[in-house]
Amino acid sequence: MKVLIIEDEAPAARRLQLLLESHDPTIQVIAVLDSIEDAVQWLKSFPHPELIFMDIMLADGQSFEIFDHVEVRAPIIFTTAYDEYAIRAFKVNSIDYLLKPIEPMLLAQALNKYRFISQSPGNFREVMESLLLSQTKNTDARPTFKNRFLIRSGDKFISVETPEVAWFCFEDKLTFLHTVKQKRYMLDHTLDELEKLIDPYLFFRLNRQYITSFNAIRSVHNYFNGKLKVYLTPEMENGIVVSKEKAHYLKLWLNR
């Protein structure tokens, strides 16, 4: 099977190649492209592959722009850090939509789906329409996120609305909620648990110790080795360091 990878993050592209080789050594990655411009030029110049893995957020824009410039004659498995583009993806030859970091089991399932479809090429459009209809129906069942936190403070309980939250942090083996009014409350949840409870559109996990709300970010600065340093408000003494890997996703999240 000849595969094209369109991905602007070199580590992510290398990892995907390794996962593909591990799953099936006969898979041949014929090219790795990192921009819309390069992808359009390549697809105009070379025979199209049997399958394309395509990241959505590329260095020069969203990969959906590729379809405005060239007819893509291959099924696509989209890879992305966000799930908000699923419906749009299924309108442009997509047979699956994998969230990063890609899980080997889900990759194997996507490849099996491709093999099933490729065995009946006449049914390709029918399968695509069925997937799109299923995905559209699923949007009515999107998960709901916490609107407030009930917190015990001494002998009373306080309800904190989500818009009042500035950030969550993990300190001295305890989790705390910090409000925009500079109040701090201890929570029973871990940060990992909180990530599943709060809206990822409004909150971002900066590192192992901090989850911030969008409104709490005062400024973002370049740091060494591709890292970022984030300063929050209400002001804290020091900025929060974001790793090089996380920095890319933070910039995408801020630019939504």
| pLDDT tens digits, one per residue of 57-101 | 898 888 999 999 998 988 999 998 766 666 566 667 788 888 888
The residues of the chain scoring below 50 in pLDDT are: 121-123, 131-132, 134-142
| E strands in the chain | 2-6, 28-33, 51-55, 57-58, 61-62, 76-80, 94-99, 148-153, 156-161, 165-171, 174-179, 184-187, 203-205, 210-213, 217-222, 228-232, 240-242
What are φ and ψ of residue 74, in 5° steps?
A: -150, 145
Q: What is the pLDDT of residue 60?
A: 87
CATH 3.40.50.2300 domain locations along the chain:
2-139
Q: Say what the pLDDT of residue 17 is.
A: 95
| Cis status, amide bond into 143, omega within 30 of 0 | no
Q: What is the pLDDT of residue 132?
A: 47
Q: State residue 83's pLDDT score.
A: 62
150 φ, ψ (degrees, to nearest 5): -95, 115
Q: What is the pLDDT of residue 85?
A: 64
Q: What is the pLDDT of residue 146?
A: 87
- List the CATH code of the domain at 2-139: 3.40.50.2300
Place of tokens 């306080």: 158
Burial class (CB in 10 A: 0-12, 13-18, 19+), 90: buried
Strand partners for 207: none
CB 185 within 8 A of CB 165: no
For 28, residues 6+ apart whose C-beta sits below 8 A from its C-beta are 1, 2, 3
Omega within 30 of 0 (cis) for the link into 234: yes
Write the CA distances from 6 to 17, 33, 52, 100, 244, integer angstroms.
12, 5, 7, 14, 21
Tell which residue, 213, 196, 216, has the closest CA to residue 204.
213
How far is it, in rounded angstroms, from Cα 105 to Cα 109?
Answer: 6
Kindly report the CA angle at 194 between 193 and 195, in degrees rounded to 5?
A: 90
CATH 2.40.50.1020 in the chain, residue ranges: 148-254
Report whether 52 contacts 63 (CB < 8 A).
no
CATH 2.40.50.1020 assigned to domain 148-254? The reply is: yes
Query: What is the SS3 assignment for 20?
Result: helix
Q: What is the pLDDT of residue 179?
A: 95
Q: Give the DSSP H or E segment for 251.
A: helix 244-254
pLDDT at 142: 46
The reported pTM is 0.50
Distance of CA 113 to the CA centre of its chain: 22
Query: What's the CA gap between 59 and 57, in Å, rounded?
Result: 7
Average pLDDT score over the chain: 85
Alpha helices in 24-56 (DSSP H): 36-45
49: DSSP letter: -
